[in-house]
């Protein structure tokens, strides 16, 4: 018996439905944060602390969310964030979410750690596709992944920079949801309580191709999620990732290059110096570093520092259309959503992911009407009532000179993708 996503009136409803559909370990893997889940709560608390000051008697009868990313039209100011292992939530889940994004007219980002290969997603999903890279210790292998994405027709490359080490997610260990996966009494009981997931997802993979694996990994690293004794199917460590890697990626990727997972304006300036076309202010949805600040609080300082040079996008904790309106009013060029479409796909596949995006579209539309704006581009800080202290941190840091960890700038190239008229600066010097 499948869930009818039309019965979901909010993202929270889809989350509840996902909880009823997935084995507990899998639901918590998607839903929860890290350590004490302070960053997770902080993301939400920051949105709730911002109020809006509507304008009235504005004719808002012709409202539009028409938008563009890197000069190409998008039907909403939203993109789907990369989320590894979406394919474990629904059979061929990454294709289902990508199709939902294509129908909604927005970009979909495929994670390095997806269960379905980037080539299959490109062949079967359609729409506008971006590829997210987790840097591999062997740079040659990582660059081969990037070349594969280019050959498969991916338009944008997102490099994730906020995962210098393995996040501490204690519940995964308690739930026995660790890699390599093992059958324990606890997780077998969890699966037995969700026979729908077992038959619709796991059994179908087993019948088609056996235990799922991270299909994008280079052959040398590809291991089934259950692994073999001594094998580690998780992501290889990428704690040596540095600015030089970003400059190297810029050399081999000629499409839009986005840097995901930064919070500090100095880092945003360095990313722009290395030739990035956009930065994504993100704390990984509160899943990695529990000490991180809320992204919507980090956003204005980043916008003020680099917003005239490159695009600034944001994610983490977006659950309502008003959250999106607040971020756009603070200067974000776009918003990524992670869990919202995942909860949708978990309970109803493509239709569920579509429902998540429809709910957000309806809510953004409602927010525009109430605020008195007809376009998303007309949202600005004047409609926001920010809590006391909001942005003080930004004010002190805006004056700080950019920290430059390498030798002086050697070349200047205009980025064809940046919405700004200023050129992006690329350093050819080596890492200090
Ligand atoms: C289950 C799950 C898996 C994720 N996997 C990745 C990943 O493979 N690569 C990545 O850059 N971010 C990953 N993220 C983080 C998202 O891209 C995004 O930053 C985050 O989900 C945004 O917060 P939200 O879920 O509150 O919208 C993942 C998030 C979730 C919930």
Nearest CA to ligand 1 atom 15: 284
Distance of CA 112 to the CA centre of its chain: 12
For ligand 1, say whether the CB of 81 is within 6 Å of any of its atoms. Answer: yes
Q: Parse the chain into domains and list their residue ranges.
A: 5-169+235-385
Test site for ligand 1: of 33, 82, 131, 314, most ligand atoms within 8 A of the Cβ: 82
Whose CA is closest to 66, among 420, 378, 376, 419?
Answer: 376
Give the pLDDT of residue 404. 45
User: How confident is the model over 314-328, as a mean pLDDT?
Assistant: 98
For ligand 1, say whether the CB of 318 is within 6 Å of any of its atoms. Answer: yes
Q: How far is CA 355 from CA 6, 15, 331, 348, in A?
A: 7, 12, 27, 9
Give the pLDDT of residue 250. 98
Q: How far is CA 432 from CA 119, 137, 217, 252, 357, in A?
A: 37, 20, 31, 22, 44
The residue behind tokens 């990508």 is 98
Closest atom of ligand 1 to CA, residue 29: 1
The pLDDT tens digits for 190-233 are 999 999 999 999 999 999 988 888 889 888 887 677 776 456 66
286 CA distance to ligand 1 middle (Å): 9
Q: What is the mean pLDDT of the chain?
A: 89
Architecture of domain 5-169+235-385: Alpha-Beta Barrel (3.20)
User: How confident is the model over 290-296, as a mean pLDDT?
Assistant: 96
The residue that leads in pLDDT, 86 or 402, is 86
pTM as predicted: 0.91
The pLDDT tens digits for 163-193 are 988 899 999 889 888 777 777 888 899 999 9
For ligand 1, say whether the CB of 339 is within 6 Å of any of its atoms. Answer: yes
Cβ atoms within 10 Å of 217's Cβ, excluding its own: 20
Give the DSSP H or E segment for 160.
Answer: strand 156-160
Give the pLDDT of residue 243. 97
The pLDDT tens digits for 33-85 are 999 999 999 999 999 999 999 999 999 999 999 999 999 999 999 999 999 97
Give the pLDDT of residue 386. 94
- Determine contact, residues 411/94, Cβ cutoff 8 Å: no
The residue that leads in pLDDT, 147 or 419, is 147
For ligand 1, say whether the CB of 315 is within 6 Å of any of its atoms. Answer: yes
Nearest CA to ligand 1 atom 11: 160
Residue 151 burial (C-beta neighbours within 10 Å; 0-12, 13-18, 19+): exposed
User: Nearest 5°: phi and psi at 321?
Assistant: -60, -35
pLDDT at 408 over 70: no
432 CA distance to ligand 1 middle (Å): 31
What distance in Å separates the CA atoms of residue 264 and residue 269, rounded to the nearest whole number?
Answer: 9
For ligand 1, say whether the CB of 319 is within 6 Å of any of its atoms. Answer: no
- Determine contact, residues 278/311, Cβ cutoff 8 Å: yes
For ligand 1, say whether the CB of 316 is within 6 Å of any of its atoms. Answer: yes
Give the pLDDT of residue 233. 65
Cβ contacts of 132 within 8 Å, gap of 6 or more:
82, 109, 110, 111, 112, 157, 158, 159, 160, 260
Report the percentage of the chain scoring pLDDT > 90.
77
Whose CA is closest to 145, among 107, 120, 112, 110?
Answer: 112
What distance in Å separates the CA atoms of residue 247 and residue 242, rounded to the nearest whole number?
Answer: 9
Nearest CA to ligand 1 atom 19: 284
Give the pLDDT of residue 283. 98
For ligand 1, say whether the CB of 83 is within 6 Å of any of its atoms. Answer: yes
Give the pLDDT of residue 182. 76
The pLDDT tens digits for 345-387 are 999 999 999 999 999 999 999 999 999 999 999 999 999 999 9
Give the pLDDT of residue 394. 55
Closest atom of ligand 1 to CA, residue 316: 23
Q: Is 284 a catalytic residue?
A: yes
Give the pLDDT of residue 212. 85
128 CA distance to ligand 1 middle (Å): 19
DSSP of 345-394, one letter per residue?
A: HHHHHHHHHHHHHHHHHHHHHHHHHHHT-SBGGG--GGGEEPPTTTTHHH
């Amino acid at each position: 018996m499948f869930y009818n996503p039309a019965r979901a009136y909010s993202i929270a409803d889809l989350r509840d439905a996902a909880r009823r559909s997935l084995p507990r370990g899998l639901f918590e893997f998607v839903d929860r944060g890290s350590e004490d889940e302070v960053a997770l709560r902080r993301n939400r608390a920051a949105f709730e602390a911002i109020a809006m000051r509507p304008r009235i008697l504005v004719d808002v009868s012709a409202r539009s969310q028409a938008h563009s990313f890197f000069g190409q039209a998008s039907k909403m100011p939203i993109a789907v964030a990369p989320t590894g292992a979406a394919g474990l939530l629904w059979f061929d889940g990454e294709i289902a979410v990508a199709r939902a994004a294509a129908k909604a007219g927005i970009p979909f980002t495929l994670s390095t750690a997806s269960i379905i290969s980037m080539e299959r997603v490109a062949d079967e999903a359609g729409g506008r596709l971006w590829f997210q890279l987790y840097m591999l210790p062997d740079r040659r292998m990582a660059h081969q992944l990037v070349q594969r994405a280019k050959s498969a027709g991916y338009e944008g490359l997102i490099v994730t920079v906020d995962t210098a080490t393995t996040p501490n997610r204690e519940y995964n260990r308690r739930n026995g949801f660790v890699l390599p996966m093992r059958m324990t009494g606890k997780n077998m009981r969890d699966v037995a309580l969700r026979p729908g997931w077992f038959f619709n997802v796991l059994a179908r993979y087993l019948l088609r191709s056996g235990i799922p694996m991270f299909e994008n990994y280079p052959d040398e690293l590809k291991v089934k999620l259950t692994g073999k004794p001594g094998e580690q199917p998780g992501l290889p460590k990428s704690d040596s990732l540095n600015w030089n890697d970003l400059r190297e990626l810029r050399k081999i990727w000629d499409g839009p290059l986005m840097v995901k997972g930064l919070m500090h304006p100095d880092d945003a300036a360095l990313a722009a110096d290395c030739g990035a076309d956009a930065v994504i202010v993100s704390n990984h949805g509160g899943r990695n570093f529990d000490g991180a600040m809320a992204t919507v609080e980090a956003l204005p300082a980043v916008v003020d520092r680099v917003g005239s040079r490159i695009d600034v996008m944001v994610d983490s904790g977006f659950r309502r259309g008003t959250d999106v309106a607040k971020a756009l009013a603070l200067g974000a060029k776009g918003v990524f959503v992670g869990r919202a479409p995942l909860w949708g796909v978990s309970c109803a596949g493509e239709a569920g992911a579509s429902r998540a995006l429809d709910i957000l579209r309806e809510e953004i539309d409602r927010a525009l009407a109430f605020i008195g704006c007809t376009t998303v581009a007309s949202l600005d800080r004047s409609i926001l009532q920010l809590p006391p202290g909001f942005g003080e941190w930004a004010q002190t840091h805006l004056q700080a000179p950019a920290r430059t960890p390498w030798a002086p700038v050697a070349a200047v190239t205009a980025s064809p993708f940046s919405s700004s008229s200023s050129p992006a600066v690329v350093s050819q010097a080596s890492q200090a």
